[in-house]
Amino acid sequence: MPSLRNALFGFISNACDDKFTLTVLQMKELFKLGLQAIRQTKRIASSPQPAHTTIWEPSSWDALSARLGASERFKSSPTLRRMCQQMAQTSQATTSSTKPQSSRKDDMTAAAAKRKAEVVSGDEEEVATSKKITRKKIKQNKI
């Protein structure tokens, strides 16, 4: 992974210096590749100390974001700067980002339980009549 980070950082920084001619779409693809690699590094890392912060060096991506903003060629594309900042944030982020997903699941199950309780304890006739669907007959054309 460090060699991938060095290659990505080298390509993007050389593109900022106009040593390479890369389009905005090509730069976006490089950032997408980098984000995916950071996520994979987080998934694989098993040590209690987050290894992805040492591998991906978030401060270097922050500096590169500033260089993208100063670059004549890429300063008109705020998307590239946001993606670079996202790479810095993703490489800094801890594993607590998975917690909101589990709470969302708990909220959904609580809402489903409420709906079931309303059907059981509420007036079943009102619930049944509100859900009754009327079908509309369609006339068939004679051939």
The DSSP secondary-structure symbol of 91 reads H
Instruction: Give the pLDDT score at 109.
Output: 65
Separation between Cα atoms, residue 63 and residue 11, nearest integer Å: 15
69 touches 85 (CB < 8 A): no
Q: What pLDDT is attached to residue 100? A: 46
Are the C-beta atoms of residues 105 and 85 closer than 8 Å to each other? no
Say if pTM beats, i.e. exceeds, 0.75: no
Per residue in 7-55, pLDDT (tens digit) is 999 988 898 888 888 888 999 999 999 999 988 888 887 665 566 667 8
Taking each helix axis as running N to C, give the angle between helix 78-92 and helix 58-70, from 0 to 180 degrees, rounded to the nearest 10: 170
Q: What angle do CA 22, 32, 19 make, to 5 degrees?
A: 20
What pLDDT, on the 0 to 100 scale, is given for residue 98?
42
pLDDT band at 140; cut points 50, 70, 90: confident
**Distance (Å, whole) CA 55 – CA 68:** 22
Average pLDDT value for residue range 60-67: 89
